[in-house]
Amino acid sequence: MATYTTDVAVIGAGTAGLAAERHARKEGATTLLIDPVFAGTTCATVGCMPSKLLIAAADAAQAVRQAIDFGVTAEPVIDGRAVLERVRLLRDDFARGVRQSIEELPKGTCLTARARFEAPGVLALDTGDRVEARAVVIATGASPAVPKPYEAVKDHILTNETIFELEDLPESVGVIGAGPLGLELAQAMHRLGVRVEVFDAGDRLAGLPAEASDALHRILTESFPIHLDCKPDPSASDTGAALTWDGGKTRFEKLLIAAGRPPNLSALDLEKAGLELDDHGTPVFDPGTLQCGDAPIFIAGDANHDRPLLHEASDEGTVAGRNAAAWPDVRRTSRKVPLSIAFTRPEAAVIGAIPDGTEYVCGEVDYGNQGRARVEGRAQGLARIYASAEDGRLTGAALCAPSGEHLAHLLAWAIQCEMTASDMLDLPFYHPVIEEGLQMALRDVCRQAGLSRPWQRNDEPLPGSDGGASED
């Protein structure tokens, strides 16, 4: 048995944990990074990157299938084994890069073990060793949840941690959960020739407001069924798992559980850390400092379940690491505008705050008739931009639109820079591009907020312009 003494102990070597250790060390603190496997980040191994690799293959298949719309005759021949081999090959390369960065940490930084609190500032490791730290950062991430009824068909269950290990594409997949991950993988599987149906107990898709959710639902259900307000009952069948619900029963070779990823906190013995916990067993913390109460304990990334996204985990790890090193001189940090994207086709996103009430206005553009979207055979969806009714200052947006990931970034930057709809209209818009469509929604905001345009008093498209939404 050994006792390690350090300024900052970081539990978990994912995106948040790596950022916390790095920034605590930059502040001059001694650090220890504790993880049971040091496999790499969730993003690189079982999240962002392998899912986008599968989506890229699905996009390629769909492009061939849709070529007939452009006068080009083609038909995709999908080799499921080759698709998944490429996913794993590039996935492993991304993960290898993360592991290499871990190997380059100063000698003695990494402890391969599982940690739990023995007392505030004292961690017991499953190796029998102990760690005494002046401050601790909890960055243990999250894991997929498999609802108890599905234990009866566990041999046919997939999660984001196992789906990319398939040797070949299955014949059929029932997807439980209509969040971003469930919808992304459902659409990708469908485009790769897999029979797919989606089930969700809620009434919205991908955490979107009603209008954007309805638009995405209309688009996706042209290709595969999505059952909302639905809790199917699973049961074993001879060749897979069956799902039964009001009005239907279907058998699937596999079931993909995408019903949430709760934080990995149960093994930490948090009660011994003296922390106040919420109803879900998560430490109560300050989002501006990531500090848990008044304790020298900080929580970052998916472990706090506040903004479970990679870029937020990296930012939170930075804040937590700096504050852990500086404790008790803890400083608040302004958070970036919330930005969440689902990489469906079309992409869907929620940006900033989605308000309601008469003090706000909402401008909308329908991408079903937008010039560049029509050229590319992607004329579907909408974008809604929310702003203050008093001055047209942007507060949030929701969209389901072609190139939505890029539109979402533009809107997030504008909101964070506290721009008004008029400010955005003063910026250059090239023609013909997808971004032009935003002009329609921004002009709509200006009209509702009573903002006049000095160069365009009626606030209408310039002569000869399609305004980004109507036909040339």
Distance (Å, whole) CA 246 – CA 24: 54
Range of the domain at 250: 148-257
Calculate the CA 13 to chain-centre distance. Answer: 19
Note the pLDDT of residue 229: 96
Residues 412 and 286 in one domain: no
pLDDT tens for each residue of 245-289? 998 999 999 999 999 899 999 999 999 999 999 988 999 999 999
Same domain, 204 and 87: no
Number of CB atoms found within 10 A of residue 330's CB: 19
- Would you say 177 and 200 are in contact if contact means Cβ atoms under 8 Å apart? yes
Residues 76 and 156 in one domain: no
Residues 155 and 239 grouped into a single domain: yes
* pLDDT, tens digit (0-9, with 9 covering 90-100), for 379-399: 999 999 999 999 999 999 999
457 in any annotated domain? no
Q: Which of 298, 309, 304, 283 is nearest to 137 (CA)?
A: 298
Phi/psi of residue 448, each to 5°? Answer: -70, -35
Q: % helix / strand / coil in the chain, to the nearest 5? A: 35, 25, 40
Closest to 49 (Cα-Cα) out of 17, 77, 89, 13: 89
Do 266 and 228 fall within a single domain?
Answer: no
**Does residue 285 share a domain with residue 382?**
no
Q: Are residues 13 and 78 in the same domain?
A: yes
Number of domains the chain is built from: 3
Rounded-to-integer distance, Cα 431 and Cα 371, Å: 9
> Residue 267 belongs to a domain with what CATH number?
3.50.50.60
Q: Is residue 243 part of a domain?
A: yes
471 within domain boundaries: no
Same domain, 103 and 157: no
Nearest residue to 366 via CA among 387, 386, 385, 383: 383
Predicted model pTM: 0.93
Same domain, 137 and 12: yes
Model confidence band, residue 456 (pLDDT cutoffs 50, 70, 90): low
> CA 172, 76, 221, 411 torsion: positive or negative?
positive
Q: Minimal CA–CA distance to 383: which of 194, 368, 128, 431?
A: 368
User: E strands within 200-352?
Assistant: 226-227, 233-237, 240-245, 248-252, 254-257, 297-299, 339-342, 347-352
Pair (227, 274) in one structural domain: no
**Residue 307's CB: how many other CB atoms inside 10 A?**
18
pLDDT exceeds cutoff 60 at 470: no
